[in-house]
Amino acid sequence: MTDPSKSLRDLIRTIPDYPKPGIMFRDITTLLGDAGGFRRAVDELVHPYAGGRADKVAGIEARGFILGGAVAHQLSAGFVPIRKKGKLPHATVRVSYLLEYGEDEIEMHADALVRGERVVLVDDLIATGGTATAAVKLLRQIGAEIVAACFVIDLPELGGAEKLRADGVEVRSLISFEGH
User: Could you please report the per-residue DSSP string of 109-129?
Assistant: ETTS--TT-EEEEEEEEESS-
At 5, the pLDDT band (50, 70, 90 cuts) reads low
> What's the pTM value of the predicted model, to 2 decimals?
0.94
Cα 113 from Cα 108, distance rounded (Å): 9
**Mean pLDDT, range 25-48, rounded to an integer:** 96
- What residue segments make up the domains of the chain, in order of their start? 53-176
Q: Are 56 and 79 in contact (CB under 8 A)?
A: yes
| DSSP conformational letter for 1 | -
CATH annotation of 53-176:
3.40.50.2020
Question: Any idea which residues carry the catalytic annotation?
Answer: 63, 100
What mean pLDDT value characterizes the chain?
94
Q: Are 80 and 117 in contact (CB under 8 A)?
A: no
**Mean pLDDT, range 66-80, rounded to an integer:** 97
At 58, the pLDDT band (50, 70, 90 cuts) reads very high
Please say if the pLDDT value at position 149 is more than 60. Answer: yes
Q: Residue 129: phi, psi to the nearest 5?
A: 90, 5
At 3, the pLDDT band (50, 70, 90 cuts) reads low
At 99, the pLDDT band (50, 70, 90 cuts) reads confident
**Reduced to 3 states, what is the DSSP secondary structure of residue 167?**
coil
Q: Are 155 and 145 in contact (CB under 8 A)?
A: no
Residue 38 Cα to chain centre, angstroms: 15
